[in-house]
């Protein structure tokens, strides 16, 4: 059929009948939202990062943010249903794994923001992710305006009726799969995952909404690193049957378009992500299966 093919995704044609009906029953992302929250025990991860960063200059250090990006990309590779999106009442899978996040031009309240979109293969280890991300961040802070910034500034300068017309045109062209690739590249919401790192400014992660424009079916929020009480049992508790210890944790929030996959699949995918975060050495192996990660 005409206009069923897209330049940023492939239509998923082997869906059960009830899943094909989801986009008609739940017509927008806003009414299809599912929220998840997962607590990540960062004890082993922090020790791992300390070991790999020992003796390195600041710009060469691997951070928690790099770990999040690497674990997210690997999870999308191993759990491809998360890398789907809905447009025009049809379900597609992304052609690539991409993660978008906000970069401040400078670390001040007044500094402008820009979005960076990084494309991953999914098998990158932490040094590769660090190099990719740091390169994008340096480019974003270099002072040169990105094409998407120019586009946003131009549209925002138009009168309100024309802004409404532009937004309507983008939705309409995208609905019929004829939105030019140039515009998709300039709009950061055409991505696999949008990641917001409010933990970097000492806040807990919010449950983010989903946008009706774009192809992002998953938003992730990273909260602040903090201490929490854990109950431990067995050998770890020593002579006691159980003990309470304080550990470094981060809360991660997930906002998902329910139409792209079922809850059980999503829950297992979050467990994969959690294991990768809590055991960063797993990312050093490029061919680990889901069963091996969850073992």
Tokens of 70: 């690497």
Q: In this structure, what DSSP letter does residue 158 have?
A: S
What pLDDT is attached to residue 258? 94
- Whole-number Å distance between alpha carbons of 202 and 112: 19
Tokens of 184: 């998709």
260, 90 Cβ separation under 8 angstroms? no
What pLDDT is attached to residue 183? 87
Which domains, from first to last, does the chain contain?
9-294 (3.30.559.10)
**pLDDT, tens only, 136-188:** 888 777 765 566 677 778 888 999 999 999 999 999 999 999 999 888 988 88
- Whole-number Å distance between alpha carbons of 36 and 26: 19
The pLDDT of 102-110, averaged and rounded, is: 65
Task: Classify each residue of 2-40 as buried b or exposed e, where b means 16 or more C-beta atoms within 10 Å of its C-beta.
Answer: eeeebebbebbeeeeeeeeebbeebeebeebbeebebeb
What pLDDT is attached to residue 106? 60
Q: Which strands sit side by side in the sheet containing 90-94, from one edge to the other?
A: 9-11, 90-94, 84-87
Element (H, E) at 57: none
**pLDDT, tens only, 43-61:** 999 999 999 999 888 888 9
**pLDDT, tens only, 16-40:** 999 999 999 999 999 999 999 999 9
pTM (predicted TM-score): 0.90
Taken in order 271, 263, 125, 140, is the CA torsion positive or negative?
negative
Q: How confident is the model at residue 1 (pLDDT cuts 50, 70, 90)?
A: very low
What pLDDT is attached to residue 132? 92
- Whole-number Å distance between alpha carbons of 272 and 266: 10
The pLDDT of 251-274, averaged and rounded, is: 94
Average model confidence (pLDDT) across the chain: 89
Which residues 6+ apart lie within 8 Å of 102 measured at CB?
Answer: 113, 114, 115, 116, 196, 197
pLDDT score of 104 more than 70: no
pLDDT score of 73 more than 50: yes
29, 211 Cβ separation under 8 angstroms? yes
- Whole-number Å distance between alpha carbons of 153 and 194: 21
**pLDDT, tens only, 218-246:** 999 999 999 998 887 777 767 777 788 88
- Residue 104's alpha-carbon distances to 60, 108, 196, 210, in angstroms, are 20, 8, 12, 22
- Whole-number Å distance between alpha carbons of 187 and 181: 10
The pLDDT of 267-289, averaged and rounded, is: 95
221, 198 Cβ separation under 8 angstroms? yes
What pLDDT is attached to residue 143? 60
Q: Which of 102-116, 213-227, 237-251, 274-288 has the lowest mean pLDDT?
A: 102-116
Distance of CA 224 to the CA centre of its chain: 17
């Amino acid at each position: 059929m005409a206009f069923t093919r897209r330049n940023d995704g492939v239509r998923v044609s082997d869906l059960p009948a009830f899943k094909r009906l989801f986009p008609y029953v739940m017509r927008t992302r806003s009414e299809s939202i599912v929220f998840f929250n997962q607590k990540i025990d960062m004890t082993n991860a922090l020790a791992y990062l300390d070991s790999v960063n020992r003796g390195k200059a600041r710009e060469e250090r691997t951070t928690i943010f790099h770990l999040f990006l690497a674990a997210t990309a690997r999870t999308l590779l191993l759990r491809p249903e998360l890398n789907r999106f809905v447009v025009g009442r049809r379900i597609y899978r992304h052609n690539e794994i991409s993660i978008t996040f906000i970069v401040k031009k400078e670390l001040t309240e007044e500094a402008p923001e820009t979005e960076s979109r990084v494309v991953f293969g999914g098998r990158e280890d932490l040094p590769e992710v660090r190099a990719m991300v740091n390169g994008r961040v340096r480019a974003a802070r270099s002072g040169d305006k990105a094409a998407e910034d120019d586009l946003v500034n131009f549209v925002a300068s138009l009168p309100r009726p024309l802004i409404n017309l532009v937004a309507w045109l983008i939705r309409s062209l995208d609905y019929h799969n004829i939105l030019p690739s140039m515009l998709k590249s300039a709009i950061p919401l055409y991505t696999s995952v949008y990641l917001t790192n409010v933990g970097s400014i000492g806040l807990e992660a919010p449950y983010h909404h989903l946008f009706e424009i774009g192809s992002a079916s998953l938003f992730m929020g990273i909260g602040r690193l903090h201490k929490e009480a854990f109950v431990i049992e067995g050998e770890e508790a020593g002579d006691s049957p159980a003990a309470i210890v304080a550990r470094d944790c981060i809360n991660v929030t997930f906002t998902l378009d329910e139409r792209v996959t079922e809850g059980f699949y999503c829950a297992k995918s979050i467990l994969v992500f959690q294991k990768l975060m809590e055991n960063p050495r797993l990312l050093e192996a490029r061919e680990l299966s889901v069963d091996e990660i969850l073992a």
